[in-house]
Amino acid sequence: QLTQREYELLLTLIQHAGETRTRDELLDTVWGVDFEGQPNVVDVYIRYLRNKVDRAYPKQLIHTVRGVGYVLSGNYQE
C-alpha cells in the first residue's frame, strides 16, 4: 500500500518516465509551491518508494541522478 504522497510522487515519475525530475520540481508538483518543510523530504519519500516498489522488480526502476534529482526508467545507466 502506498500513502497518498507516495502515490503522487510515483505518478509524477511515471508521467515523466525517462526524464530526470529535479527535487524542486518534485517538491512543487507533489507538496505544492507553498511547501515550507525540509527539501530532503523528497529523498525520504523516494526511499519509501524504493522499499515498496523497487523490491518487487529484479531491476531498479527509480534512479538517482547525482546533483540533479530522480528518473524512473528500467534502462537508466549512470
In a domain, 36, yes or no: yes
Number of domains making up the chain: 1
3-state DSSP of the chain: CCCHHHHHHHHHHHHCCCCCEEHHHHHHHHHCCCCCCCCCHHHHHHHHHHHHCHHHCCCCCEEEECCCEEEECCCCCC
Summarize pLDDT for 66-76 with one digit per residue, the tens: 999 999 986 64
Summarize pLDDT for 30-62 with one digit per residue, the tens: 999 899 888 799 999 999 999 998 887 788 899
pTM for this prediction: 0.87
Q: In this structure, what CATH number is given to the domain that contains residue 62?
A: 1.10.10.10
In a domain, 12, yes or no: yes
In a domain, 19, yes or no: yes
Note down the domain range covering 64.
4-72
In a domain, 77, yes or no: no
In a domain, 60, yes or no: yes
Cα separation, 77 vs 70, in Å, equals 12
In a domain, 78, yes or no: no
